[in-house]
């Protein structure tokens, strides 16, 4: 049984809540996973034909969670390729979509995602929105900490960009040369910019790499949101508590 938060007492223990985006606030994690699979499967099929080798497709349940979920785009490409023993040149962010490089593959996935967002829009988890509003009403600062370079566009499409004091996304991480999750650097930088001690901040994540980052940063509380039916995986990697939906922590769930 998950104990509901007492929002009137919350400011005695914490000053800020740092939210991941995809899978925590917005229902975009599944879209990301499908786009990653489409991109990698196209690449792997072509490579298998060229090298007369066995074609092993990208597995959403295993490969996505283990190598890609929650990571900066190019880090995700690099991590998955390494798992298959595939070496490609790094390339640059300006690489065209057809280029066989880490950046080129990442750019292909990004184009797919943008096309889906333009046609399907963005859904918001109501339980997360309720918690977010209650946290702000209690006087805590709020930030989005996401690996996505599309974070700003997604927040605007969801109509929730005004509910955050700070956005630390893939664009800012690249500008500041910060490593992505599971390194804690983006969370720590967000706390620093909010003028909040990590021990006085809550991290909310749905990805293994995200809860690992929250634990590595010694944050006061790490909340895991279990969208994939793997609560133990989140607990074992750093989540202090795990919920199926953030609405479980509010009175209105």
Whole-angstrom CA distances from 153 to 113, 123, 164, 225 are 11, 13, 14, 23
Cα 241 to the chain's mean position, in Å?
Answer: 18
Whole-angstrom CA distances from 80 to 36, 104, 168 are 10, 14, 24
- Helix intervals (H) in 138-184: 151-158, 170-175
Q: Collapsing DSSP states into helix, strand and coil, what is residue 29?
A: helix
Angle at alpha carbon of residue 85, lines to 84 and 87, rounded to 5°: 115
Q: What is the DSSP code string of 45-102?
A: HHHHHHTT-------IIIIIIIIITTS-HHHHHHHHHHHTT-------TT--TTS-SH
Q: 141 - beta bridge partners?
A: 16
Q: How far apart are CA 168 and CA 154, in angstroms?
A: 13
**Catalytic-residue membership of 206:** no
Q: Collapsing DSSP states into helix, strand and coil, what is residue 183?
A: coil
**Catalytic-residue membership of 20:** yes
Catalytic residue from among 9, 15, 22, 110? 22
Q: Collapsing DSSP states into helix, strand and coil, what is residue 211?
A: helix
Catalytic residue from among 20, 69, 169, 226? 20
CB atoms within 10 A of CB 229: 7
Residues catalogued as catalytic: 20, 22
């Amino acid at each position: 049984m998950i104990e509901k938060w007492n929002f009137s007492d919350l400011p005695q223990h914490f000053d800020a809540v740092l939210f991941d985006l995809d899978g925590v606030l917005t229902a975009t994690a599944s879209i990301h996973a499908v786009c990653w699979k489409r991109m990698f499967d196209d690449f792997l099929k072509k490579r298998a034909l060229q090298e007369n080798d066995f074609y092993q497709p990208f597995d959403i349940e295993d490969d996505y969670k283990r190598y890609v979920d929650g990571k900066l785009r190019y880090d995700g490409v690099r991590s998955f390729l390494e798992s298959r023993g595939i070496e490609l040149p790094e390339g640059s962010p300006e690489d065209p979509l057809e280029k066989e490089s880490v950046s080129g593959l990442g750019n292909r996935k990004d184009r797919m995602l943008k096309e889906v967002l333009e046609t399907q829009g963005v859904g918001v988890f109501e339980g997360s929105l309720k918690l977010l509003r209650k946290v702000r009403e209690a006087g805590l600062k709020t930030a989005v900490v996401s690996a996505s370079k599309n974070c700003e566009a997604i927040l605007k499409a969801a109509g929730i960009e005004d509910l955050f004091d700070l956005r630390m996304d893939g664009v800012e991480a690249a500008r500041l040369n910060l490593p992505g999750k599971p390194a804690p650097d983006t969370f720590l930088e967000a706390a620093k910019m909010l003028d909040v001690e990590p021990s006085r901040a809550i991290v909310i994540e749905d990805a293994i790499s995200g809860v690992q980052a929250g634990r590595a940063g010694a944050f006061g509380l790490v909340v895991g949101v279990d969208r994939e039916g793997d609560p133990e995986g989140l607990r074992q990697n750093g989540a202090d508590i795990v919920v199926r939906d953030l609405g479980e922590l509010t009175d209105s769930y």
